[in-house]
Structure 1
Amino acid sequence: MSDLVFESVSVHYGHRRHGLTAVNHADLVVPSGEVVGLVGESGSGKSTLARAAVGLAPLSSGRIMLGGTDVRRLRRRERPLQMVFQDPYSSLDPRMSVGDSIAEAMPREGGRSSRSERRAEVARLLEQVNLDPGSAALLPGELSGGQRQRIALARALAGRPEVVIADEITSALDASVQGAVLNLVRETQRRLRLSMLFISHNLAVVRYLSDHIAVMYLGRIVEAGRTEEVLADPRHPYTRDLLAAVPGRDSGPPTADPAPVAEAADPHHPPPGCGYHPRCPAGPMVHSDRTICRTSDPAEDAASRPHRSACHFAADLPSRHPRGDSAS
């Protein structure tokens, strides 16, 4: 097993002047055998970063390394990375049986596997995701959404990956089946000791599954660290705003003056300096003397701050839990 490392990864679409930078010099490590939860608003670049890892989005700059090897040097079928997509129905061929879809993802091993061996492996994978092996003969349209997502997970496991990337895999499911799928994912990851990048906008889900959390805003990783540390005392104002938006969560005493209401930045025309400064309760919209936020990009020296926070004032933010209480 090896770490999956994103080194200053950028993904740009369109012309240089009029295009869109979906991912902007993102640095992230998915440690071997652990789960990194990647959170952020819609449009923050989470899915684009994931698609770049599996070769579905072109890199404009940077590298994605697995075990010291640039994944772009590997043929797509040889990459030990598999992705489970948000919509389980559109990710499966509606004309292929469940068994054929799973078998298609299996390594060919020089063509030496017999048909009976492949059928046995399909049955084993279906049992691994808590489905009846008899469902191999069914079409995706004959299954429920939760069952289809289990099939998508089995198909990913069929490729014998070292890393699984799960992109909002419960957001298209009914609330009644989300918990069962999440329990299956956690059980499978722990049993197989897979490395996993788990993408979600739901902080409760990410907290349940993840060893580490990375927070993404406007194509940047703005905070990253151990899950319990980031949630107990986040060091970036955007992370704090995400936590404050969780329904029913006790966010504790106020830690900054409220910022004026502002729209999210246009990713086609990001603001200079810190991308979050037009919305930030710790920035120049509230504290007029903090003009550095408008002119200097805090991501450039994030490694020197707590949780690698891309905030000039990360160390100055009041503690969320001054008495040492843990996050709720």
Structure 2
Amino acid sequence: MSELRFDNVTVRYGGRRRGLTAVDGVDLTVGDGTIVGLVGESGSGKSTLARAAVGLTPVSGGAVLLDGRPVRRHGPLQMVFQDPHSSLDPRMTAGASIAEALPRGTRDRRAEVTRLLGLVELDAEKAAMLPGELSGGQRQRVALARALAARPEVIIADEITSALDVSIQGTVLNLVRDLQRRMRLSMLFISHDLAVVRYVSDFIAVMYSGRIVESGPADEVLAGPQHPYTKELLAAAGALALSEPDSVADTEPADPHHPPPGCRFHPRCPAGPLVLADREICRETEPVPDGHRHRAACHFAAAEAELVPAHNAHPRRDR
């Protein structure tokens, strides 16, 4: 069993007066052998949560647990970063980078490097090449192989396709899906693009302004989104044609140093108090992510779900 759980995790930078709460009371579980897709726009706190999981950012409150125990810094969790050119040492060959992550006592390190390169569909000859001699897609495959070398129980993939050409993204996503299926990996897959998350995920969690605003099985979230922010992300991914009047979601997100009271999305919400006068509760009371068809932090989640016609559902591809 390899279950990663964020238990009321908070990450705060700076002091009380001028500080910033980047992650605010997040509860999220990555179940054994599943891929949880974490999606949200830039600045929502996704990468901060990932860095907190692997110990690169200190947790201000709550706990990160692996099978119920606090996570150690190295070993059971491995992270694959957005830019493989930065995450790989430019002076080390691909093979040396992978070998460095192998557990102590590995007998035939060269054979193991070759095996890992094969897992990510790279020829053994690539072991002798420097990162600068590889394409972006090849570098990201080496980064995946390096993460797998440590024999992790959970992998955290942080925007691993966003720095790649569109023509290469699909190949890497197919590889991720295949590796997870063959190795039964548990994975937290982070992206700002809901179309990408949809392709690989069993469960989806939507993050906005440091909080999870909607979460549930991927098919349920995609077919019946209950939070207006999720609906906006689906629209941006071309998965759902919105018919909301007077949308204000094009406005800038709230200042993270001074988040608004009540629902943090209400100043941008196309179904909130700026559009519908009878929804003042959104300005005053923070919604609790509970109940309804799946978890959604919206006072009107049930009503929002009813506005999504069944023919607009855009389920993920068969796995």
Aligned counterparts of 1:16 and 1:104: Cα–Cα separation in 2: 41
Where does the alignment leave 5 or more consecutive residues of structure 1 unmatched?
none
Structure 1 counterpart of 2:293: 306
Structure 1 counterpart of 2:23: 23
1:247-326 alignment runs, 5 A limit: 247=238, 249-251=239-241, 254=243, 256-260=244-248, 262-298=251-287, 301-317=288-304, 319-322=306-309, 326=313
SS in 1 for 2:257: coil
Aligned counterparts of 2:38 and 2:118: Cα–Cα separation in 1: 29
Aligned counterparts of 2:46 and 2:168: Cα–Cα separation in 1: 24
SS in 2 for 1:184: helix
Q: In the alignment, residue 286 of structure 2 is paired with which amino acid? A: D
Aligned counterparts of 2:50 and 2:129: Cα–Cα separation in 1: 30
Aligned counterparts of 1:282 and 1:326: Cα–Cα separation in 2: 20
Would the alpha carbon gap of residues 318 and 223 (structure 1) be closer, same or farther in structure 2, given more than 3 Å must change? Answer: closer
Structure 1 counterpart of 2:139: 148
2:36/2:189 contact within 8 Å kept: yes
Aligned counterparts of 1:199 and 1:2: Cα–Cα separation in 2: 18
Shift of 1:306: 3.2
Aligned counterparts of 2:265 and 2:37: Cα–Cα separation in 1: 21
1:107-118 alignment runs, 5 A limit: 107-108=103-104, 112-114=105-107, 117-118=108-109
Q: In the alignment, residue 279 of structure 1 is paired with which amino acid? A: R
Correspondence 1:105 to 2:101: yes
Shift of 1:226: 0.8
SS in 1 for 2:157: strand
CA RMSD of aligned residues (A): 1.6
1:259/1:285 contact within 8 Å kept: no
Aligned counterparts of 2:240 and 2:290: Cα–Cα separation in 1: 29
1:71-150 alignment runs, 5 A limit: 71=71, 74=72, 76-77=73-74, 79-108=75-104, 112-114=105-107, 117-150=108-141
2:224 paired residue among 233, 242, 252: 233
Q: In the alignment, residue 60 of structure 2 is paired with which amino acid? A: S
Shift of 1:313: 1.0
Structure 2 counterpart of 1:161: 152
Q: In the alignment, residue 152 of structure 2 is paired with which amino acid? A: P
Where does the alignment leave 5 or more consecutive residues of structure 2 unmatched?
none
CA-to-aligned-CA distance 1:71-96 (integer Å, 9 cap, x gap): 1xx2x23x301110000010000111
Count of paired positions = 314
SS in 1 for 2:274: coil
Aligned counterparts of 1:318 and 1:99: Cα–Cα separation in 2: 50
Shift of 1:325: 6.2
Aligned counterparts of 2:23 and 2:127: Cα–Cα separation in 1: 38
Correspondence 1:179 to 2:179: no
CA-to-aligned-CA distance 1:296-324 (integer Å, 9 cap, x gap): 111xx312333211111111225244456
Shift of 1:282: 1.9
Shift of 1:289: 2.3
Would the alpha carbon gap of residues 33 and 315 (structure 1) be closer, same or farther in structure 2, given more than 3 Å must change? Answer: same
SS in 1 for 2:98: helix
1:232/1:320 contact within 8 Å kept: no
2:11/2:60 contact within 8 Å kept: yes
SS in 1 for 2:64: strand
Shift of 1:133: 1.1
Q: In the alignment, residue 168 of structure 2 is paired with which amino acid? A: V
2:98/2:146 contact within 8 Å kept: yes
2:207/2:213 contact within 8 Å kept: yes
Q: In the alignment, residue 276 of structure 1 is paired with which amino acid? A: F
Aligned counterparts of 2:208 and 2:280: Cα–Cα separation in 1: 20
Q: In the alignment, residue 25 of structure 1 is paired with which amino acid? A: G
SS in 2 for 1:306: coil
Shift of 1:216: 0.3
Would the alpha carbon gap of residues 94 and 290 (structure 1) be closer, same or farther in structure 2, given more than 3 Å must change? Answer: same
Aligned counterparts of 2:120 and 2:251: Cα–Cα separation in 1: 44
1:5-16 alignment runs, 5 A limit: 5-16=5-16
CA-to-aligned-CA distance 1:164-204 (integer Å, 9 cap, x gap): 11011011111121111111111111000000110111111
CA-to-aligned-CA distance 1:246-299 (integer Å, 9 cap, x gap): 24x4526x2x4323453211111110111001011221111222221112111x
Shift of 1:327: 2.7
Would the alpha carbon gap of residues 180 and 257 (structure 1) be closer, same or farther in structure 2, given more than 3 Å must change? Answer: same
1:9/1:24 contact within 8 Å kept: yes
